[in-house]
Every structure is written in structure tokens, then in C-alpha cells.
Amino acid sequence: MKDFIRSIASLPRRQKQIVLVLMDICVLPLMMWLAYAVRLARPNVQVMQGLDAWYIYIAIVGVAVFALLGIYRAIVRSFNEDYLIRILIATFIQMVALYGIKKLDIAFIPMSIPLMYGFMLFSYMWWSRAVIRYATLKTFAKKQSRKRVAIYGAGLAGQQIAAALNRSDDYLPVCFIDDKRSLQGQSLSGLKIYSPKKAQAKLGKFGIEEVLLAMPSVGRTRKKELIESFDSADVKIMELPGVTQLVDGQVQVSDIREVDIIDLLGRDPVPPKPELLEKNIKNKVVMVTGAGGSIGSELCRQIVKHQPKMLVLFEMSEFALYSIDRELQTSGIQVVAVLGSVTNQSKLERILQQYTVQTVYHAAAYKHVPLVEANPFEGIYNTSIGTQRSVDAAVNQNIETFVLISTDKAVRPTNVMGASKRMAELYCQGLASTHSHTQISIVRFGNVLGSSGSVVPLFKKQIAQGGPVTVTHPEVTRYFMTIPEAAQLVIQAGAMGTGGDVFLLDMGESVKIVDLAKQMIRLSGFRPIDENGMGDIEIRFTGLRPGEKLYEELLIDSDNVEKTQHLRIMKSYESYITYTEIAQVFNKISDLAIDNHNIELLYNILIKYVDGYTKG
């Protein structure tokens, strides 16, 4: 039997359509005879008396109507609601035609015959296609078992994905989970709807391997709660993308994706203030240093959305510059790519003058703590001296606005990377106190998710390799923010500056890195190995790296902080060093960094001028 089905299914599309047409031509007259036989309760009946060769008319008209409605063009294996509606309409048309024949006295048709024929015809079409679909899927089904899935959310998206999963070879929907009490205990598309509590108890019993979140409009906070509720269950959590990503409103199996940890650690966004986003950008020439980095490139993406007159990309990495330049060429904004180092002040001034730049976002810096700790002179030269020369160039060319992108590691740092950033801040603060024609601001924030310096990409790679996942210390914590949110807030903070300001971005709650590692392991469908050795992936503690802190801070002086017009931006009033003194210090640092000698003197300078700095 399977060989026969395979031979039919392997026919060209046109030949399969002919097979269906021939089958219907044979069965439709039989349906009409059956309607009369049932109506008169005997098999020997005269059908459509007065119309010779009635069976030809019934077959040809029926097949013609089905063909016009595209029933033969549809793929039987994609049997769905649209297909059923087409069959229903075709059946109704034929019933109306029969009543028309009766009204015109073309043939004798009892009043109940069209209804009986319509019911039998629809039943035949439905069952014949369903049997064909079932037999075909069974014959060609993959040998490996389908993944058993519970769908969280019995709304429209849940119903659509259940139908799509039923048609797939890889997934088998087993049940729905929904918070609405009115739905619990009901059945939808043949699947029972359970409350979250009852579903938890039945996951193992039903052999469910994955829970699919079919709630595209749910917020991050609620999504995080849902995922955490399955922490004790041995299931993988998958999701559908957000509403804005489901462009055509139709959910497909290909839309299913793994839950991104970035979505969970990020927060529900606060709507940005358009006037702040546009103040330093719209119709202005803007330059971003470090334009190819994680923050720099996202700043560029945000900037082009607000119609700058021109965007100048300044970057010392050829590949990074090429990547962001190529990405932005389709933005409709004039983009100029400049390859160079921020330590080259004469080139910076020439570029600023040549393109009459008005706003500078300074994102160029080294940010990998262990690398900078092992190469302190290079870190100080690129980050501290690079910032000095960038802001000096901006002031010399009368740039309107200069915004330094800083880090929480600059607060009481235990590493050279953080100290180099704090020195950059001190120089900007000192310079701002003597040069009011250029508005100099500092924006300080913590880790951004998914950046090259983030632990998230590292953990993903380690999990994919089967572990171990390496965490430096069980108590280490960090603040996290998504790159797009950080870039938007940087732009808005810079627009609020008056000169020498230090803005702090609200980073939300700090996260234990070991908890982050455990959650990422669970989201991948594995279990972290516990004290008893039970689980799939080991979490290994490697010890704090040179210069690394257990936790980061955003404030040097927590008493001098005030709110701003934006909910997630604060303003800090911090002590600073006079420009005359800090300029002399930077001359010393520059000499040391260029000559690469006397590391102890460099450390002593950092200890003296960076509040709280201790050599790690």
C-alpha cells in the first residue's frame, strides 16, 4: 500500500491534479444517487427524472466549480481552514444550482435533495482530502520522533502555531497552557488547555521536551517570570518573535526561535524623548569615534534615524570601519568613513574642520579588563591620551558638543582600564571648566549585552561546546543594559548637558553572573550540574582576573545626584581637578606611555588622581 501511495505522490503536480479530478468525476454522481436512495429509502431510484445523462452534468458542473475555486490547485498536504472554506463555498454553489434546476422544471428534484446532496458532497470532499493527507504524511513521515511541545498561550498566535506544528515533521503539539481561568479545562484545535500549575505536573507525564511561548506582545518582565517558572522542569524554552517582527500576521514553524537571554536581562523600554534625540543630531554634521565598536556602531545606527546632515565614522580598525560603513550606506544619509587613531590630534582637527563637524560622540577606547591590565601603557595611551587629544581637537575647532562615553569601571577602579577611563573623565571635566564654547559631557554606564566585552557571547559558545561554563567568582555581580537602549540614552543624556556634566544611566538591578550562567544553560534545554553531580553542564569558578572587582558602581559620590527630565538618566556632581593641574598630569602620562617605561610611576599617578584606585 505504501508503495502505491509513494508512486501516486511522486507523480508530477499536473498528473496528481488529474487523478483528483477523475476521482471526483466518479464519486459526484454516486453522491447524487445516494441522496435519492436515502430520501426514498430504496436503492432502485430514478435520479433527476427528466434530465437525461444527469450524471455527466453533475460530474462536469461539480468539477468545474471546484476548479474555479482553486480546490485542485491547493496542496492537499497543506489542508487548512482556507481549503475547507473553499469546499464549503463550492458545495453551496452546487446546492443553489440544484434548486435552480428544480425551479425551472428541468428535472424532478425533491426539496430535500439539494440539502442532502450538499451535506454528502461536503463530507466526501473533507474526508477524502483528510485521508489523502493522513496517508501521505504517514508514508513520508521522518523516522525520528517529533519533538513534543506545550504551547504557552492559547490566543491567535498559539492557535496558528499549533496548526503549523501539526503540519510539520519536526514538532508535535501536545497541549496548551494559559493563565486565563475561563479557558482552562477547555479544548482548542483538539488540544486541552491547562493552567500553568497543572501543566508543570504533566510535562514529564506527557513527555514534553519544549515549551513554546506563543505570546508575541508580552513584556520582558512577564516573559522573565514565565521562563523562571519552568526552572525546575527539564524542558527547553522556545518563543515566537515580537508582534512587530511577525510582519504578515501569520505564524509559521520557521518563526520559532530560542529565547534570547538579552531579551530577559533587558528592560521594557521607556519611550525616548524626540526633542532630546534630535537636538545634537538633526541637520547637523556628527562624528563618532570608535564607530566600529559595539557602542559606537549602535550609536551610528541610532544617529542616522534622526536625519543628520552627515555622519563621519572615525575608527582605527579597518574591518570594523568597513562593516559599519557598508551597513549604513543604504540609510539615505551621507556617510564618510575615516581610518585613523584618536591619538592623532592633527588628523582629528583636520577631519573636524574639513567636514565642519558640530557634534562628537567619543566611544573609542580599550575595554577588555585583563588585556589592558597586561598592557597598561597601551591602555592609558589609547583611552586617556586618546580622549585628551579628541576633546582638545574638538575645543580647538569650536565643536558645539562633545560627549565622552564612559563606564562604571571608572568608579573606584581596581584595574588600569577603569582608571584610564576615570582619567579621561577628569580631563574632560577640567577642560569643560575653562572652555564654555564647547559643551563637554560625560555619560557613564555599565555592561552592555552582546558587546564584544560581554560574558553573554562567551557563555553561549561554552554551552554550545558542552561546557564547562566559566565564572570568575560565585558572588560576582554586574549591571546589564541592551546596546540599543544604552545608545539611545547616551544621545539623550548628551543633549541635556551644559558643560562638565556627568550623566549616569539607570542600569536597573545588578545580576549575579553565576545566576546568568544557570539561566542560559536552562534556556538551552540543559541543566547545570549541582552539588550531587546531577545535570548536564558544569559551572566552573576560575577566580577573579587581575584588576577585576566583585561588583561595579556607578557613583563616586552618592550624595550629589539629582534626577533629570528623563526617568533613566541621572546627573552627578563630582569633584574634579583644575585644568592646569590635570593638563600637567597628562603631559607626564603621555611621556610615560610613549616611552613605555617606569610602570610604577604610572601606577603612582593613577593612585594619586583616581579616587579609590588600587592596583589589582
69 neighbors 90 (Cβ within 8 angstroms): yes
Question: Which residues partner with 315 through β-bridges?
Answer: 339
Nearest to 481 by CA among 415, 405, 416: 405
- Quick check: bond before 308 cis, omega within 30? no
Coil, strand or helix: which one is 585? Answer: helix
Scored b (16 or more CB within 10 A) or e, 189-200 reads: eebebbeeeebb
C-alpha span between 158 and 419 (Å, rounded): 51
Sign for the pseudo-dihedral over CA of 98, 101, 106, 110 = positive
C-alpha span between 48 and 277 (Å, rounded): 77
Nearest to 485 by CA among 365, 400, 566, 401: 566
Q: Are strands 569-572 and 561-563 parallel, antiparallel or unpaired?
A: antiparallel
C-alpha span between 307 and 283 (Å, rounded): 6
End-to-end Cα spacing for the chain:
76
Instruction: Please confirm, yes or no, whether 409 is among the known catalytic residues.
Output: yes
Cβ-Cβ contacts under 8 Å for 310 (sequence gap 6 or more): 285, 286, 333, 334, 335, 336, 355
Nearest to 331 by CA among 350, 353, 306, 362: 306
494 neighbors 443 (Cβ within 8 angstroms): yes
Nearest to 161 by CA among 236, 252, 258, 243: 252
C-alpha span between 433 and 555 (Å, rounded): 21
257 neighbors 515 (Cβ within 8 angstroms): no
DSSP state letter for 91:
H
What is the number of other CB atoms lying within 10 angstroms of the CB of residue 481? 22
Q: Pick the catalytic residue from 223, 236, 279, 409.
A: 409
Instruction: Provide the grid cell at 146.
Output: 517529533
Question: Which residues partner with 311 through β-bridges?
Answer: 286, 335
Q: How far is CA 100 from the centre of its chain?
A: 57
202 neighbors 175 (Cβ within 8 angstroms): yes
Contacts of 531-540 with C-beta under 8 Å, sequence gap 24+, read 536/467, 537/463, 537/466, 537/467, 537/468, 537/469, 538/467, 538/468, 538/469, 539/467, 539/468, 539/469, 539/471, 539/514, 540/468, 540/469, 540/470, 540/471
C-alpha span between 479 and 551 (Å, rounded): 9
Coil, strand or helix: which one is 288? Answer: strand
Catalytic positions are 409
